[in-house]
Amino acid sequence: MSSVSGELAGELFVWSMIAGIGVATFLIRFAPIALLARLELPAWLTRALRYVPPAVMAAIIAPPLFFADGAPTIDPNLPRIIAATLAAVVAWRTRSTLWTIVLGMLALWGLQALLG
């Protein structure tokens, strides 16, 4: 077997693994959604699930604001704090995760460009 065909077989193996793992990941994440879509969930669970997006957003945003090098601290990084405050106001007023992310990121990038 020549070196070129060996490299091609190696590349084919890698790409088939990437595609297979991608499909497996999709199915693992899609199965519960497809199952829950067919079930009628209790009202208390439906109400509770409305808090998942804000909880995920808080878990993503809070660590860079309140932890530096793994230790709890309030870093006076002004652009991040101002952008996070603006994002919180947008979330409170619009109740839109998309607008919160878009306007919060635009504010962060703009403030970082202005304040350095």
CA-wise closest residue to 87 among 115, 114, 60: 60
Highest mean pLDDT: which range of 14-23, 67-76, 106-115: 14-23
pLDDT (average), residues 71-99:
85
Task: Pick 71 or 98 by higher pLDDT.
Answer: 98
Give 115's pLDDT tier (boundaries 50, 70, 90): confident
Same domain, 68 and 33: no
Q: How far apart are the first and last CA of the chain?
A: 57
75: confidence class by pLDDT, cuts 50, 70, 90: low
For residue 11, the SS3 value is helix
How many CA atoms are closer than 13 Å to the CA of 92, on its beta-carbon side?
6
Same domain, 54 and 34: no
What is the mean predicted confidence (pLDDT) over 71-78?
A: 73
Domains contained in the chain, number:
2
Q: Decide which of 41 and 23 is more confident.
A: 23
Q: Give mean pLDDT, residues 23-28.
A: 96
61 with 28, same domain?
no
Shared domain for 29 and 50, answered yes or no, is no
Q: 33 and 74 share a domain?
A: no
Determine contact, residues 87/107, Cβ cutoff 8 Å.
yes
- Would you say residue 11 has pLDDT above 70? yes
pLDDT in tens, 50-73: 888 888 888 888 888 877 777 777
Same domain, 53 and 107: yes
Do 55 and 106 fall into the same domain? yes
Statement to judge: residues 50 and 97 lie in one domain = yes
Domain that holds residue 53: 46-115
Do residues 59 and 84 both lie within one domain? yes
- Mark whether 50 and 33 lie in a shared domain: no
pLDDT at 3: 64
